[in-house]
Amino acid sequence: MTDDRSDDRTAGQAREDGFAVRREVLGDAHVDRAIAGTTDFTADFQDLITQYAWGSIWTRPGLDRRSRSLITLTALVARGHHEELALHLRAARRNGLTVEEIKELLLQTAIYCGVPDANTAFRIAAEVLADEI
């Protein structure tokens, strides 16, 4: 697959794009908390995820944000990353996934990731999406 973007973007441009996408997907409050909590020790990590995850991967034209959210939720369930799952459930709603689509994704994960992981994911989703269920 080719990337239709110019490969001439600088690291600074990727970082700038990453902050924009990160805010759009995760919300200003989350990003502001992450930035406020940055220390000398964590600054390089914050830069890494902003520039590469959000600025280089989430900005690629090959998949829309809904698809990226579906993939991300599945990966988080499979790996048992529950704190990140809650965060990305909210992000998935911002990216246009319906509660019904999230339910179907979690049912699918029961088959391919395991019932215990899906059980935990359903519990987390029920808490995160309580106002919408």
Question: Would you list the domain boundaries of the chain?
Answer: 10-60, 63-133
Which pLDDT band, with edges at 50, 70 and 90, does 7 fall under?
Answer: low
Type of residue found at 17: D
Q: Which tokens in the block code for residue 20?
A: 């924009």
- Percent of the chain surpassing pLDDT 70: 95
- pLDDT at position 8, please? 73
Q: How many CB atoms neighbour CB 85 within 10 A?
A: 23
| Fold assignment, 63-133 | AhpD-like (1.20.1290)
What is the 8-class DSSP label of residue 50? I
Q: What angle do CA 96, 23, 68 make, to 5 degrees?
A: 45
Q: What is the mean pLDDT of residues 7-18?
A: 87
- pLDDT at position 1, please? 43
- Say if residue 80's pLDDT is above 80: yes
Contact 113, 77 (CB under 8 A): yes
Q: What is the mean pLDDT of residues 4-20?
A: 82
Whole-number Å distance between alpha carbons of 35 and 87: 16
- Say if residue 4's pLDDT is above 70: no
Q: What is the mean pLDDT of residues 74-96?
A: 97
- Say if residue 74's pLDDT is above 50: yes
- pLDDT at position 5, please? 52
